[in-house]
Amino acid sequence: MLFRALAIPEVILIEPRVFADDRGYFLESWVRSKFAEGGIDHDFVQDNHSASRQWVLRGLHYQLERPQGKLVRVVVGEVFDVAVDMRRSSPTFGKAVWERLSADNKRMLWIPPGFAHGFLVLSERAEFLYKCTDYYHPASERVLLWNDPALGIEWPIPSGVQPLLSARDSAGCPFTRAECYA
């Protein structure tokens, strides 16, 4: 496995070693010892699986009281995945990083606790898996406004296309008014 820090060093892109032949392929998606060597030494308590159609945008979500680290990957289709640093004490506070994750490239992304997270479905359909370091805690969940210009996220949305958002995600908070971590 290859572990590569992104522009925000705590966010890590993981490229698993894929063993492929005419029957298909095999890869290790989680090996605690290898991930610890790659800088990701966390326990996971919850696995989630979402399915969405093209142009669905989910996020940008985070939990104040029980921050979740997330190991994310796509098993069907392709998404544009985003992490925003919500830690006031961080030198990258308010900065965003993004990557394309797909069933074809088999990449995974580690988003540590203290980040808002979201994704946009680029393919006709996508299935998204994520392992979480803490349980879902609806009372402390917050939503950062996905298209806040202050974040500088370059969403790959074609002209004339409106992303499909939940009511909650449409009403996200601008970064300047968002509750953040210390």
State both tokens at 61: 């979500």
Q: Is residue 19 part of a domain?
A: no
In a domain, 32, yes or no: no
- Catalytic site includes residue 137: no
CATH number of the domain encompassing residue 115: 2.60.120.10
Q: Annotated catalytic residue: which of 25, 49, 130, 137?
A: 130
Query: Does some domain include residue 27?
Result: no
Residue 50: inside a domain, yes or no? yes
Question: What's the rounded Cα separation, in Å, for the pair 80 and 1?
Answer: 22
Look up residue 140 and give its DSSP letter: G
Answer whether residue 21 is part of any domain: no
Torsion angles phi and psi, residue 151, rounded to 5: -85, -25
pLDDT of amino acid 17: 95
Q: Is residue 41 within 8 Å of 10, Cβ to Cβ?
A: no
Q: Are 96 and 154 in contact (CB under 8 A)?
A: no
Amino acid, res. 90: S
Say how many domains are in the chain: 1
Bin 103: left if φ > 0, else alpha if -120 < ψ < 50, else beta: alpha
Let me know if residue 13 belongs to a domain.
Answer: no
> Of 42, 61, 62, 117, which is the active-site residue?
61
Note whether residue 20 is domain-resident: no
**Catalytic residue list contains 130:** yes
Domain that holds residue 94: 42-177
What are the pLDDT tens digits along the chain (182 aa)?
A: 999 999 999 999 999 999 999 999 999 999 999 999 999 999 999 999 999 999 999 999 999 999 999 999 999 999 999 999 999 999 999 999 999 999 999 999 999 999 999 999 999 999 999 999 999 999 999 999 999 999 999 999 999 999 999 999 999 999 999 999 99
Tell whether 35 is covered by a domain: no
Whole-number pLDDT of residue 67? 97
